[in-house]
Amino acid sequence: MQRHIPMNNDRLPHVSIGLPVFNGGAFIESAIESVLNQTFDDFELIISDNASTDDTESICRRYSRQNARIIYIRNDQNTGAASNFNQTLWRAKGKYFKWIAHDDVIEPTYLERCVEVLDTTPNAIICTSHTVEVNDDGQTEMHRLPSLLSHSRPHTRLYGHLCIAKHRCYQVFGLMRRRVLADAGGIPGYVESDQVLLAKLNLAGRTEIIDAPLFRARDHANRSIYIPIQERAPWFNPDLSQRRVSPKWRLFGEYIKAVVQAGYPQQETARCLLVVGIWATLRYPTLKREFLSLWSHYFGREMIDRVRQPKQRSAQEPERGSNSDSRREPLNIHASDGGSLSHLQTVMTAHRANDERSKQPSSD
């Protein structure tokens, strides 16, 4: 499918591509070139620069001057990754939309093949391919998306996303129907929120997977997935820099919310909620660790130690159920007594008599 249509202000592009970046000067030229080399070229490329301090700006401005399809936006200050990703979405005008990271590349036929699938498959909302990761040494590793993402049932697709072998959310870099993506709200501003977006999209419709490695992701030490959780929070959203975060608990609640808001019949909603429960069970150790960490932060270590350690019984403390208290004879009802009501009444009468005598004043 060779489609070459000059861009002008009077028509809309068929595809919009968003390229959010911060200090990506080392790799961004390769990403831009991979887009410009597509066999399908009815697209716009929106670059959103999150106030980079390296040579990203000069590189992007040079490309935007050379090609009218490239729109370059530069933020005055770093607004966080989520906001920067979403800025490219809100500026897009195409029927279909795709994000590309500044350090990734797509093969020349990627757009052509994905557009053809979405044009001919109305019930698919995402089309993408398998991913090849390339590390700094040039070694490669294939990442295949679960085939369950193409299933007709929402709960099965959700299971494929949440519970099948991890796939690093490469689905979020697929070609999507822009309206559906916008209705889902884009990427929320908290840690691992791209997984929530994908949960919403998988509930909304199918993902068609091209059985070929048309997407190449660069695996290097500075990738966001290697940033510790507490540091990754302000990377997503600067407003979270001083907040304590519990990412998995946040995801748990957001998954439930996404299922309920999807509006499926009661039976299908129940199945989807069961999938979320399975997800939580698989991540029980992390959920427990986050809960104890949060509890410790707000209530102190002493309470956590009490929860984690069994109570130490003192030498003077009698064991539960022991008869060491000699102040009053215990009410023992033995098997030989048959537990009869008459025996119980006799014992109770004796105890009341003892109590009455103890209350009488002494004659001494």
Q: What is the pLDDT of residue 5?
A: 43
pLDDT, the chain, mean: 82
- Which pLDDT band holds residue 271 (cuts at 50, 70, 90)? very high
The Cα 183–Cα 4 span in angstroms is: 30
Q: Tell me whether residue 287 is exposed, middle or buried, using C-beta atoms within 10 angstroms of its C-beta: 0 to 12, 13 to 18, 19 or more.
A: middle
Enter the pTM of the model. Answer: 0.75
Can you tell me the mean pLDDT for 24-45?
Answer: 97
Phi, psi of 354, rounded to the nearest 5 degrees:
-60, -40
Q: What is the pLDDT of residue 325?
A: 45
- In whole angstroms, how far apart are CA 357 and each of 132, 325, 343, 353? 90, 21, 22, 6
Given a cut of 50, is residue 258 above it in pLDDT?
yes
Given a cut of 50, is residue 270 above it in pLDDT?
yes
Top-level class of domain 15-245:
alpha beta
Helices (DSSP H) in the chain: which residue ranges?
A: 28-36, 56-66, 81-91, 110-120, 154-162, 178-183, 193-204, 229-236, 247-262, 266-282, 284-299, 301-308, 341-359
Out of 14-23, 192-201, 290-299, 306-315, least confident range: 306-315
Q: Which two tokens stand for residue 62?
A: 């040079």
Phi, psi of 363, rounded to the nearest 5 degrees:
-80, -10
Report which of 258, 325, 246 is spatially closest to residue 292, judged by C-alpha positions. Answer: 246
Biggest alpha carbon distance in the chain?
A: 118
Total Cβ atoms within 10 A of residue 92: 23
Q: What is the pLDDT of residue 40?
A: 98
Can you tell me the mean pLDDT for 185-192?
Answer: 90
Please tell me whether residue 219 adopts helix, strand or coil conformation: strand
The Cα 159–Cα 152 span in angstroms is: 12
Q: What is the pLDDT of residue 73?
A: 98
- Which pLDDT band holds residue 293 (cuts at 50, 70, 90)? confident
Q: What is the pLDDT of residue 290?
A: 79
- Which pLDDT band holds residue 297 (cuts at 50, 70, 90)? low
Q: Which residue would you say has higher pLDDT here, 247 or 5?
A: 247
Given a cut of 80, is residue 190 above it in pLDDT?
yes
Element (H, E) at 105: strand 104-106
Given a cut of 80, is residue 301 above it in pLDDT?
no
Please tell me whether residue 183 adopts helix, strand or coil conformation: helix
124-176 pLDDT tens trace:
999 999 999 988 777 888 889 999 999 999 999 999 999 986 667 889 999 99
The Cα 207–Cα 112 span in angstroms is: 16
Total Cβ atoms within 10 A of residue 196: 21
The residues near 112 (Cβ < 8 Å, ≥ 6 apart) are: 1, 38, 39, 40
DSSP 238: G
Given a cut of 70, is residue 287 above it in pLDDT?
yes
Given a cut of 50, is residue 363 above it in pLDDT?
no
